[in-house]
Every structure is written in structure tokens, then in C-alpha cells.
Structure 1
Amino acid sequence: MTAPDPTAEEAQAERLSVGTWLGFAAMCLGMFMAVLDIQVVATSLPAIRTALGIADDRMSWIQTAYLIAEIIAIPLTGLLTRAISMRRLFAAAVGVFTLASIGCAASTGFATLIAGRVVQGFSGGMLIPLVFSAVFLLFPLRFQGVATTLAGMLAVLAPTVGPIVGGWITETGSWHWLFLVNVVPGILAFLLGLATLRREAGHPTLLRSLDVGGLALLALSLASLQIGLKQAPDDGWLSAPVLGLLGASLLAGAWFVARMLGAGTPIVQLRTFRDRGFAVGCGLSFILGMGLYGSVYLMPVFLAFMREHGPLEIGIVMLVTGVTQLLTAPLAVALEQRADARLLTLGGFLLFGAGLAMSGFATRQTDFDGMFWPQVVRGGAIMFCLLPPTRLALGGLLPEAVPDASGVFNLMRNLGGAIGIALIDTVIYGRSPVIAEALAQRLVDSDAKAFVIVGLPLDRLKDAATLANDPDIQDKVLPLIQKAALVEAIDEAWIMLAAITFAGCALTLLAPRGAASGKPMPGH
């Protein structure tokens, strides 16, 4: 027998390595399109509403339907990965997402569009946790930092570039392309993933033991929570419908938890929360979701209502965050491989909180220049808020626990975003009328600072007393007061996000000692 050729073995190993990276790149592409789709569609909801004749009060369901289906799918990803294998689940998820995108583009009315969005959300919701599972299942320890960076960068870059993509499509083409833009990347990711991802045998018998009752409780809990959060800013947190929805979510969630703790094959492995690193990582993921999705929500609101920018102009302003993130990613990777994950996380969240706070001092005139440095600070912090917490949460777990844990970890970020946006709406629409009333009174009282805030010339101070009695002047001044009040309310929302982010820094102190990147955590 001839001895094995070392060169041939090295070449084979190199081919396998390239195949692994190509498969992972395919997964990242699918995930990027799923995350991008949310923001692209959000930017262009008015165009879709006009084209399909959808009533104003039903328009938000185009997004809500996607998000509800997505948060239900995320925690199921771990069980389905074990049942049918990562390769098959990814191919199925990205394939169904692509077909659903075609279905959305072919919609002729509200009902068909919502049906397509539900399918999109359910299939797209599996792609993010699949990618973060793949980091720890496909790669040896020394490559996990690079893989996490690639996945994390795309996951947070998509919401940043989404407005510019959506704005460009809206202004240059048909609304159908908001969905058809997913087709070519989706097909490419499907074929590349099937060809290059590692073939593994699943355990389909797990599907036979699927707890249908538990799944129904999970769906009820997450859907009630999402709808309740959506309605709270409009109806009030203490209104009967909102209290009913949040109560149903709490009861169904508690029943689900009790059921999972006693199940032989649980849908979600809740016992993983006994791992301190995982529990802390999930808390940090929740806080990052509030700040990340909250900032991506607040900037378009300000730029559209205060500066009257179109979708494309808004996208250009918001691109600063994404560019900064790309430029700082190599530094984040280098430090993540060498430094203590707890210190990097603490620094990242302190910096991110500072960037949020910097946006809390906007005025009516604030535009690209005033938003530049806060975006630079936040963009430079994002990877430090994602890479080290991901390792804290998943890096110390056994391989068989990673798929379930990844689903829960990513679910926490989405829930943080949903709750953060609900709190933002509560601040904006609850505080604006109060601030407006106070500004109007200050104008009547000839408060010079109030005149500056509203944008009235100081030489009109002598006419302040007529504001209370002259309807013509009130009609002219009222829109200025409302805009100024909206600016102050938005500033308060930024400060709220910053305060939550700073408070969350304390979580890093609870992380297990020795949780340094690139090293196994104690006890694993």
C-alpha cells in the first residue's frame, strides 16, 4: 500500500475549510436578507398602503404580522435543528422565505399580503439563531471570533442600510421590488448552503414528541405580548385591551415555563439559564435590542417629521452608523480574541450608552452634521456590545445545547427591541401633548427661551399676550409648538434608552470570572 500523501490531505482539509466558510457565508446572506426585509418594508409602508388601498389603521399590521411570526419561530429553531439537521433547516427556511417574498410581491390586497408576511416572518425568524449556532458548531475555537464578527456585523448592519435600500427602491421603482429584491440572494443562499454545509443525520423522531400544547402556549404568550406592546402607546398601558393582552401573555408564558421544566423533550431548554454566562448574555442581548432597534426607529421619526426628509435622504443620514461599524469591526475581532469578555462588554455598553445620550440634545435644526458624531460613537460600540456577550452566552455551553440557547439568545434581542419601541412610543406620544401645553403657557408668559425653542423671533415677545386670545396667531403658532414639543419628547426617549443601557452595564459584573474570549469558561 502506498502511504497517504500529506500534501493531498492538506489540500483536502483546505477544501473542507473553504466549503465551511462558503456554507457559513450562505447562511449569513440568508440572515442578512431576512433582517434587511424588516427595515426595507418599514421605510416604504406608505407606498404599499397606497398601491393596495390599505386603510391607515391596518397599515402597521404589515410589520406586526412579520414580527409576531418571527418571534414564535426563533425559539423553535433549536428543536428543529436537532430534528432535521442544520443544513436541511437552513435550506428549508431560506427557500420558504424566498417563495414567500415572491408571494408578497404578487399580493393583490391586504389579506394575501398579511399571509405572505406571516410565512416570511416564520421562515426568516429561524435564520438568525441558525447562523449564531453555526459559529460554535462549524468552527474551531480560533475561528469563532471571526465568524461571530461576520454574523454580528451583518445582523446589525442590515437595519442601518435598510432605509437607504428601501428609500432607493421606493423612489426609483415599483413597491413590488421591496420583496423581489430577496429572490436572487435567496436562491443563491439556498443552492450554496445545500452544496457546502456539512451533511448530518437529524433525529426526526423528536418531531413525534413535539409538545403541541406547549407550542400553542408559546405562540399565545409571544403573540399577545407583541400585540399588547403595539397597542399600549395608542390605547394606554392601563387600558382593558392592553392589560388583557399582557395578562394573557404572562399567564401563557408561566404555564409554558412550567410545562417545559417538566417535559422530557422540551421545545426550549430553559434549564440553560442556570448557566450564569448564558443568563447574563441574554440580559445584555435584551438591552442591546432596546438600544439598537430603538435608535433605528427614532432617527427616521425625527428626520421625517422634523426635517421632512424622504426615505432615501433618511437612509443616507443613517448610513454613518453602518460605515463606522464596518471600520471598527477588525479592531473588535482583534480585542475579542485577546481581552476579557467582561471588560470589553462593559466598555462597549458604556460607549453605546454615551452615543445614545449624545442624541438626546437635538433641536429643530439638527440634521446630518448634528447626528454624525452620535452615530460614530454608537457604530463604534455595536460590535463590542455583540461579540463578547455572544461568547458569554454561548461560548461555554456544550455543543448539543448551542442551537436551543442561540434561539433564546436572539429572541431576547428581538423582545428588547419590541419593548423598547413600545416605551419610545409611550414617551413620544404621551409626553408631546404635555410639553406642548407647557410651551404654550411659557409663550403666553413671555418666556424668551420658549420663543427660541419654538422658533419665534424674540421681537414678537411684545405680542405674547395675544396668543391666548387671537385664533389666527394660534393657528400659525400651534404647528411650531407641536414640532418643538415632539423634538423634546424624542430627546427624552433617547435619554431613556441611554439610562437603560448604562443601568445594564451592571450585568457585566455578574458574568462568571474567567469568561475571557477564546478560553473555555469554568465548569464546562
Structure 2
Amino acid sequence: MPSAYVARVVLREPVVGARTWAGFATMCTGMFIAILDIQIVATSLPTIQSALGIPPDQMSWVQTAYLTPEVLLIPLTGLLTRLITMRWLFVASVSVFTVASCGCAASGSFATLIAWRVLQGASGGTLIPAVFSAVFLLFPDERQGIATTIAGVLAVLAPTTGPVVGGWITETLSWHWLFLINVVPGTLSALGGVWLLTRDQPSGLLRELDLAALSLLAVSLACLEVGLKEAPELGWVTPITLSCLGTSMLTAVLFVRRTLAARHPVVQLTMLADRRFAVGSALSFACGVGLFGSVYLIPVFLGFVRGHSPLEIGKIMLVTGLTQLATAPLAVALERRLDATVLALLGFGLFATGSALSATQSVATDYDGMFWPQIVRGLSIMLCLLAPTRLALGHLPPEQIPDASGLFNLMRNLGGAIGLALVDTVIYGRVSGHATDLAARLASGDGEAARAVGIPQALFAAHAGEPADPATRAFVAPLIERAALAAAIDEAWILIATLTLVVILALPLVRRRAEPTLEKTP
């Protein structure tokens, strides 16, 4: 029997007891509050803006200041795990995140808040990949599906319940509590991590850290994040956007060249040569587009088209989260019985279907009309998380998993960033065209346009053919803008559905894994 295979079996079959599950639950708690923080802050930005007197055109930096360092730290999870072990990386990250949350709550100015948000994002960036690494480092094969499902449920439940939590805090407490709610779970997670997580030995040396490569990676990801943020509003060919994206591309090329030639690379890019890992990462990218895009589009539609409050939006969005929770046991059962490629085909096919159903929304669509599309997407989410994770990480030896998890989770976040930029581009670029078209159709007496805008048919018929006076134009203009936004959002849903379907074409590239045969020893 080959010794390498014996070693791998021994490494991959740890003893799992209550302490292991408790330690994993502690890590999941830290990950949950880091993801939840993004969404609850997003729903309450107007309140923070008013409290701190932040200029409207600078408000988005409250989120960008978090997301940019988060994206940078995600691929460094493997390196940091080797330097200080998974246990101390988690404890340090969740501790700094908790302290930074207190700093955000105590901020009295825009600059102070941004500084603490940067620290929050940097510390939160390692928590998600650390949890998905723990799935494969702490549990044997037969328990990994359950562990991945638990992590996946929390990873998606956080942004789903975020609007409810953020809306309730905004309406009943002060904005400071958007950050202070992290203190108790963060403190308990840090203490639990010290006590419960395994005590490994560091396997890396600080002197091996390539600072030049790290700097190139930081500049590339930061410029990409800022460029994607500015592109939808300023335009993709404006000097600011082109300079950011150009700098990102140039430094990325330099980083790749240096990393591939390095003896101790900051990020193990060579893992992308593994076909299963590469396809799993592509699926993770598409999953990021879908998850981030859907969680963004629903509040935009309900807030700006339907005029709902953050708390009402959160209640409607709970349909997806509750469906996901209810079907999690089924997802685990399917993960054990189906090949990962079949699981991915089913999951991404369902998500594309749910997104296409949302592309039929009108200005009158509300809870009832959004119910079934949310149900279909809720059915698919766990499959869209389990399948790529199994494909990308399930076959790797333990020593490669921290680096692989960092790259894998980076792809999901990059998918989210790029997907949001594309969604915003569709909305910014198409609303004016739809508004012009609707106005022209109304002027020509088109009854379908009147129904789309929401003008009562009797009122429209009574004034058809008459020149519009200022009062009429003032009444109709907001209705046209609302209907144009709804039409643009429908096109964004079509974009998400299309991208989700396209990634399925990569599945035939995955080779079936041949199960190893055990040789009999004399």
C-alpha cells in the first residue's frame, strides 16, 4: 500500500467529537457577524449619513472601505494560516473585528469611521475562507457535507436576514448598535477559539514573506475594487475608471509573473492548473455574481419601485432564507449521493430559473409576485455552495486547503464585485432609455405603456390625445421613472440568469475522480 496514500488517509480522517463541532460553531459565528455587518450597514446608510454629516457622493465609501481590504486579505488566508496556525488566525481576526466594531460605533466623524471600517474589513476578510478550510481540516469525508451546509447556510442567511436586522435596529435603536451588536458574539467567538480549536504548530516563516508580491497584490485588488465601484456611475471609459482598471491589470500581470517564479509564493496560483479546482473556482465566481446580485436587486426594487421601508424589505427577503434553511437537509442528502457536477447542474440551473422568473416584475409586483422566484432560488442556494466547494477543495491534501480556500473564496467575492458593477451598469445605462421610450409611447396614446407606468386606464383614456400640461407632466414623471427602473432591474435579472447558465458549460471539463484502490498488505 503506497505510503503517501496512507499518510493522506490518516490526515484526512480526524476524530470528530463535541469539542470539534463546538470549535467549528465558534468559527461560523465569527464568519456570520462579519458577513451580517456588511448588509445591516448597507440598509442604514442614510441614517449614518445624516448622523455624521457625510456628503451624499462620499457615502458609498463606508462600504468600499470595508470591502477593499477584505478582498485583499481573503487570498492571504493560506499564508497567514501557515505563519500563525488556523486557531490563532481566527482568534486574532475575530478579536480585531470586535475592537474595530467598537471603534465604528464610537466614531464622531466620516474619516474616523472610514479608518475603523478598513480595519474591520481587513480582519473580516480571513474569517470566511478560514471556516471553509476548517471544513476539510477538521472533519472526515462523511462529515464534510454537513459542515459545508452549516457554513453555507450561515454565509447566505447573514445577507438574507441583514435587512430585517438592520431595519429593526434603524427604526428602534441608534445607528451605533449596527456595530455594537458584534461585541458579544465576537468576544465569545474569540474566547471559544482559544479554548476549542486545535493547537497546531506554525509551518511557515515570516522571512519567507514576499513583500513586493504582497504590495502588487494589494494595489491590484484595491484598484480593481475602486474601479468597479466607480465604473457604473462615471462610465467604463472615463479617465478615473480606466486608470484604476489599467493599474489593476498591470500590477496583476506583474504579480502573477513574480508569484509563478517565487520559491515561497504569497498565493499558490499553480493550483489553478488543477482542473477540478479551476472549474470549482469558476462556479464560485458565478455563485458570487448570483448571490451578491440578487441580494442587491431585491432591496433596490422594493425600496425605490415599491417604496418599502428597510424592515418591510427584510421581511419579504426572508422567504429566500427560510427556504434555504428548510431544504438544507435535502441538500446534504443530495451531496452524499450525487456527483458534484450533477449537483452543480441542478443548483445553477435552478438559480438561473429563479432569476429568469424575477425578470418579469412590474411596478405592481410585490410579495406575492416575488414569492415563487425566491422559493426557486432558495432551493438552489445550498447546491450552488456545496457543489463548487466539493469540486474545488474536496480532493486536495490538507496542506493545500488553506491556500486553496483563500483563492476559492476570493473568486466568489470578485464575482460579487464584478456582478454588482455589471448590474449597476445595466441600471444606470438603461433607465433613461426606458423612460424616454415610455414617455413617447404615452404621448402616442399607448394603453400598454399606461398600464406599465401605473396610470389608471379610465384617467388615461379621458385625457388621451390632449397636450400634457405642467401639472400632468409633474404627476406622470415619477411614474415613468419608477416603471423605467423596474424595466432596467428586469434586464439585470436576465443578465444574472444568463451568466449563471453560461458557467454550466464548464462542467464537462471536469474529469470524474477515480476512487483509489487499497492494496492489501502482507
Q: Same fold (TM over 0.5)?
A: yes
Could you list the runs of 5+ residues in structure 2 that have no partner in the other structure? 1-12, 518-522
Q: How does 1:434-445 map to 2 (within 5 A)?
A: 434-445=433-444
1:75 is aligned to 2:75: yes
**Is residue 396–residue 520 contact of structure 1 (8 Å, CA) maintained in 2?**
no
| 1:177 paired residue number | 177
| 2:228 paired residue number | 229
1:163 is aligned to 2:151: no
1:204 CA displacement:
5.0
**Is residue 93–residue 124 contact of structure 1 (8 Å, CA) maintained in 2?**
yes
What do the CA deviations read for 1:239-276 (whole angstroms, capped 9, x no partner)? 11111111111111111011100011111000000110
Q: Which amino acid aligns with 2:497?
A: A
**Is residue 74–residue 125 contact of structure 2 (8 Å, CA) maintained in 1?**
yes
Between the aligned partners of 1:16 and 1:353, the Cα distance in structure 2 is: 37
Q: Which amino acid aligns with 1:118?
A: V
What do the CA deviations read for 1:66-93 (whole angstroms, capped 9, x no partner)? 0001000101110000111000111000
1:19 is aligned to 2:19: yes
Q: How does 1:406-421 map to 2 (within 5 A)?
A: 406-421=405-420
**Is residue 16–residue 139 contact of structure 2 (8 Å, CA) maintained in 1?**
no
Between the aligned partners of 1:391 and 1:497, the Cα distance in structure 2 is: 23
| 1:371 paired residue number | 370
Q: How does 1:290-301 map to 2 (within 5 A)?
A: 290-301=289-300
Aligned residues: 504
| 2:427 paired residue number | 428
Q: Which amino acid aligns with 1:421?
A: L
| 2:127 paired residue number | 127
| 1:309 paired residue number | 308
1:188 is aligned to 2:181: no
1:142 CA displacement:
1.2
| 2:257 paired residue number | 258
| 1:142 paired residue number | 142
Between the aligned partners of 1:204 and 1:110, the Cα distance in structure 2 is: 39
Report the 3-state secondary structure (helix = DSSP H, G, I; strand = E; otherwise coil) of the residue aligned with 1:85.
Answer: helix
Between the aligned partners of 1:277 and 1:204, the Cα distance in structure 2 is: 27
1:129 CA displacement:
0.3
Between the aligned partners of 1:39 and 1:482, the Cα distance in structure 2 is: 26
Between the aligned partners of 1:457 and 1:179, the Cα distance in structure 2 is: 45
Fraction of identical pairs, as percent: 61
1:365 CA displacement:
1.2
**Is residue 130–residue 406 contact of structure 1 (8 Å, CA) maintained in 2?**
yes
| 1:6 paired residue number | none
Report the 3-state secondary structure (helix = DSSP H, G, I; strand = E; otherwise coil) of the residue aligned with 1:200.
Answer: coil
**Is residue 162–residue 315 contact of structure 1 (8 Å, CA) maintained in 2?**
yes
Between the aligned partners of 1:489 and 1:249, the Cα distance in structure 2 is: 29
| 1:446 paired residue number | 445
Report the 3-state secondary structure (helix = DSSP H, G, I; strand = E; otherwise coil) of the residue aligned with 1:145.
Answer: helix
Report the 3-state secondary structure (helix = DSSP H, G, I; strand = E; otherwise coil) of the residue aligned with 2:17.
Answer: helix
What do the CA deviations read for 1:266-288 (whole angstroms, capped 9, x no partner)? 11000000110000000000001
TM-score, normalization by structure 2: 0.94
Report the 3-state secondary structure (helix = DSSP H, G, I; strand = E; otherwise coil) of the residue aligned with 1:513.
Answer: coil
Between the aligned partners of 2:197 and 2:257, the Cα distance in structure 1 is: 36
| 2:479 paired residue number | 480
Between the aligned partners of 2:338 and 2:15, the Cα distance in structure 1 is: 31
- Provide closer, same or farther for how the CA distance between residues 437 and 14 of structure 1 changes in structure 2, counting only shifts above 3 A: closer
Between the aligned partners of 2:87 and 2:150, the Cα distance in structure 1 is: 19
| 2:56 paired residue number | 56
**Is residue 62–residue 117 contact of structure 1 (8 Å, CA) maintained in 2?**
yes
1:279 is aligned to 2:278: yes
Between the aligned partners of 2:428 and 2:448, the Cα distance in structure 1 is: 23
1:470 CA displacement:
2.6
Between the aligned partners of 1:387 and 1:47, the Cα distance in structure 2 is: 37
1:471 CA displacement:
2.6
1:520 CA displacement:
7.2
Q: How does 1:6-45 map to 2 (within 5 A)?
A: 17-45=17-45
RMSD (CA atoms): 1.6
Q: Which amino acid aligns with 2:336?
A: Q
1:162 CA displacement:
0.6
Q: How does 1:209-228 map to 2 (within 5 A)?
A: 209-228=208-227
Between the aligned partners of 1:458 and 1:192, the Cα distance in structure 2 is: 63
Between the aligned partners of 1:457 and 1:328, the Cα distance in structure 2 is: 42
TM-score, normalization by structure 1: 0.94
| 1:509 paired residue number | 508
1:330 is aligned to 2:335: no
1:461 CA displacement:
3.6
**Is residue 395–residue 520 contact of structure 1 (8 Å, CA) maintained in 2?**
no
Q: Which amino acid aligns with 2:54?
A: I
Between the aligned partners of 1:15 and 1:188, the Cα distance in structure 2 is: 25
| 2:106 paired residue number | 106
Q: Which amino acid aligns with 1:82?
A: R
| 2:46 paired residue number | 46
**Is residue 210–residue 266 contact of structure 2 (8 Å, CA) maintained in 1?**
yes
Between the aligned partners of 1:14 and 1:201, the Cα distance in structure 2 is: 16
Q: Which amino acid aligns with 2:199?
A: R
**Is residue 14–residue 139 contact of structure 2 (8 Å, CA) maintained in 1?**
no
1:14 CA displacement:
12
**Is residue 361–residue 369 contact of structure 2 (8 Å, CA) maintained in 1?**
yes
